[in-house]
Structure 1
């Protein structure tokens, strides 16, 4: 009798173990189907306190390999305008090297803007000299790619930013100055406008004038 009881107990334990393994495999299979990514982590602090910066979030590959997609994502942040006494962000990064010797000399560095070949490299010019140097391969995240647009550098790559200050957006201002507008909020009138040609002369011409609401 005791032997039969032991066999029965072992059979029950074995049955429970089989059920547990089966459920475990089903759970792991479901995770694999979902891409094996963990949930996105919290957003990092913004790279800037004003003027438009970048923040990132990370996620972990649960099975350690073969996860499709990226493990990092970005978004814009601190899109409020900087106070008037806050200097240009790229200029601040150049001036940080004023106390660092370059080829045995100290220089006062000013930024080089709108470099078409490397918009996200920190290229600076020695003040008063014909010396341009790449002081860093990457500017800090949130630095404008050029001064004519809101596009910003993130991890050394120029990323598009629309007038809505959203990363990856292609939204642009219409002729009325409205972001993503259709040009219907301003009216067009005609009249005489004095166009300055040179210090010596000027002329009158009739040009369209856009009136903003």
Structure 2
């Protein structure tokens, strides 16, 4: 690879050689017109011919290369063409069968039984990989402590054992994402070859919700198509990952998974847990389905950092779905309230009548949780789905307890009693259950690590729909789409 040497370019000169090629005559006419019309002796570079076709692969199995070439056509006094005369691309064939002789071994074996060192003595040669230039044919004499270099290896020879690079004209070259050897082309964070990270958006947040009790809390939805995913924190809590089918990939069902590599959503998830309570989760992507990142809280949450890249066309649907499911894209930072200066004591007054001033409800509006995707996700990922009538409600410091009368059970992983308590993790639960109304509820069983609490949990923005015959049909249909 490289520029043409002066002798490699085709010279076009105004000489008669008998029969003239039509293209040569046309180029000569253009050259004459340019010289006469412009009156300028400065000449630009020559012109390349179109690329030829790609050659056959240099190997019959495994990795090899194919090559194509072009020529530079220039007039006398013109500079050489800018660029390369040859291009090489990687060709990937089916793996070689077991026992196949490697390409470099075959090249060394060509010198077996032939005197090569100026004597009549012959040797058996095998590859030697300890020489400085790995693209030279360095062969070791079997049974002896010396090697000999027989020049360059043939183009397409692997640079070393297990190396992805191939030797071309004595140089070790690796293929870029465009398949061309030595091009240096790389995928950007969006997965585009040679891109500039302008076709995707970078999502980076910190989940700071402290949680009201021990258990699983949603951190973020990782949508289909996400790349370069990473989440990290430093605490005794554990990251958990759930697939779109409602099954846990990591740290589910109160069991801590060992560090390692896991297959999920068409990508490999690398899970590490280092000393100092640091835990990380990373995946290259792209993901083939949605994933739900959760945290199993055992102590107050110091903050979970997460990030991923998402194609621009998928960002708006991700925002809408995340809001619908109640998974915040960012956490509001707490604000410190400045203390008010003390007010001077007022003169005593006699209050004859005081009317209570109505105060607005401090609870924010709940997110929209309608849609088939929301129903499927919570139905398949829940432990219990049942129809119940709300009999009572008690708001405590950081949670709400509902007393419900169970009337019909669609799904249960353990027995349910006629009267149950359902807990919601907030004084402002979403959705709000009205007294004396019937709902279809999807709840999860929450057992504290010490085994002292066993609750039915209604997740924030979970599945709680007013019962109706139509909703009854929909929930029965959802059961058919959950994995067995």
Normalising by structure 2, report the TM-score: 0.30
1:171 CA drift (Å):
6.3
Q: Deviations over 1:84-124 (max 9, x none)?
A: 13111111111111131133212111111254x20100001
1:35 CA drift (Å):
4.8
RMSD: 3.6
Aligned residue among 43, 46, 52 for 1:41: 52
1:155 CA drift (Å):
1.3
Q: Which residue of 1 aligns with 2:30?
A: 25
Correspondences of 1:3-18 after superposition (within 5 Å): none
1:33 CA drift (Å):
7.2
Larger C-alpha radius of gyration, 1 or 2? 2
Gaps of 5+ in 2: 1-25, 35-42, 188-226, 231-240, 242-248, 265-484
Alpha-carbon spacing, 1:26–1:94, altered in 2? closer, same or farther (3 Å): closer
Give the Cα–Cα distance (whole angstroms) in 1 for the partners of residues 177 and 87 of structure 2. 20
1:188 CA drift (Å):
6.2
Alpha-carbon spacing, 1:170–1:88, altered in 2? closer, same or farther (3 Å): farther
Alpha-carbon spacing, 1:99–1:170, altered in 2? closer, same or farther (3 Å): farther
The answer to whether the Cα contact below 8 Å between 2:152 and 2:170 also exists between their aligned partners in 1 is: yes
Task: Tell me which protein shows more strand as a share of its residues.
Answer: 2
Aligned residue among 207, 210, 213 for 2:261: 210
Alpha-carbon spacing, 1:170–1:132, altered in 2? closer, same or farther (3 Å): farther
Aligned residue among 97, 101, 105 for 2:121: 105
Give the Cα–Cα distance (whole angstroms) in 1 for the partners of residues 123 and 100 of structure 2. 22
Task: Tell me which protein shows more helix as a share of its residues.
Answer: 1
Give the Cα–Cα distance (whole angstroms) in 2 for the partners of residues 81 and 72 of structure 1. 27
Aligned residues: 165
Aligned residue among 131, 134, 144 for 1:129: 144
Q: Which residue of 1 aligns with 2:74?
A: 63
Give the Cα–Cα distance (whole angstroms) in 2 for the partners of residues 171 and 188 of structure 1. 31
The answer to whether the Cα contact below 8 Å between 1:151 and 1:162 also exists between their aligned partners in 2 is: no
Give structure 1 regions of 4+ aligned residues with deviation exceeding 4 angstroms.
26-29, 32-35, 162-166, 169-172, 187-191
The answer to whether the Cα contact below 8 Å between 2:46 and 2:74 also exists between their aligned partners in 1 is: no
The answer to whether the Cα contact below 8 Å between 2:87 and 2:180 also exists between their aligned partners in 1 is: no
Give the Cα–Cα distance (whole angstroms) in 1 for the partners of residues 114 and 260 of structure 2. 51
Give the Cα–Cα distance (whole angstroms) in 2 for the partners of residues 163 and 58 of structure 1. 21
